[in-house]
Amino acid sequence: MKIAMIGSGAAGSVFAAYLRKGGADITLVDPYKEHMDKIAKDGMKFTIYPDEVYHLTGFKTAYTADDIGTMDIVIFMTKANQLESAIQGAKPCVGPNTVLVSLINGLGNDDKLLKYYPASRCMIGSGVIGTALDGPGGCISTPSEGVIMNFGALENNDVTIAAGKHMEECYINGGCKAVFREDVLPFLWKKVVVNCTVNTVCAVTRLKIGEVEADPFGQKLFHDVIRECCAIANAKGVALDADEFIRVDHQHIIDHISDYYPSMAQDMLWKKYRTEIDTLNGAISDYGKQFGIPTPTCDVLSTVVRCIQNNYANQYVDGTRK
């Protein structure tokens, strides 16, 4: 099957590298010209932290999806706030049987896909994995233990099942533990809770995951976010127990990727990007208002992140104002 990765920055490159390592026929699509050109010329340097390094060749690359031909699977790995425009930009490579897949963190990505394509051709999922670019032509994966990738179809049929099984096979052959699931929502909600917790708190505190956990006030922030997110998940019909999540899922993150700045922290601390706050804690806050469930920690964290990202140019750096 021909696969296009729409959005091939840090996360897209890592997700695509595992697929390519597993034998996938894959085209990277991203406007980052230096990165695309380097991969097209020399291949991808793929590092699996801490010390596995692979040189992957055979990628096709493009700056847009206009001339890459019809794909069997189109995976979206843009920022969540870019997904709708990415779906529109991918139309030239979408045929009548193409399966559209969002592996983007956050809530509401399924609704954006369904705005343009039927459920019978849509899949959603996410990965529990640290990602970073290693300059043009390189990417770094910081995997956790256990299942790294979870994805599933909005409607199971011959076309979506075939696409899901192919992705699962390529990921597994590439060294990434992945599962194509009949009911993916519980796993996606767990990823949302993880991201709302470590991404946002680390971004605001400017600390790595383990540094936040080691501080009693930081740990309280983590736990408060988890409890609010689990309350919303339950209201949405996905059963999550906050105490169990703290004991098992959150501890799993602490044990395996504590020495890591999550993606939102990277975006805010040095990339100065717009963040995914609206589809993470911001979405939890919105659901809280809808269901009448208090979400005070997510409310404040969302407000702080939005203020910071609106004022990157006004921040102090090394004791001086830019």
Q: Which CATH superfamily is domain 186-316 in?
A: N-(1-d-carboxylethyl)-l-norvaline Dehydrogenase; domain 2 (1.10.1040.10)
In 3D space, the residue among 202, 30, 192, 68 whose CA is nearest the CA of residue 125 turns out to be 192
| CB atoms inside a 10 Å sphere around CB 209 | 26
Could you tell me where in the chain the CATH 3.40.50.720 domains are found? 2-183
Could you tell me where in the chain the CATH 1.10.1040.10 domains are found? 186-316
CATH topology classification for 2-183:
Rossmann fold (3.40.50)
Q: Do the beta carbons of residue 283 and residue 107 sit within 8 Å?
A: yes
Q: What is the mean pLDDT of the chain?
A: 94
Is 102 or 128 the better-scoring residue by pLDDT? 102
pTM exceeds cut of 0.85: no
pLDDT digit string (tens) for 49-91? Answer: 989 999 999 999 999 999 999 999 999 999 888 999 999 999 9
pLDDT digit string (tens) for 247-295? Answer: 999 999 999 889 989 989 999 998 898 998 999 999 999 999 999 999 9
Give the model's confidence band at 164: pLDDT under 50 very low, under 70 low, under 90 confident, else very high: very high
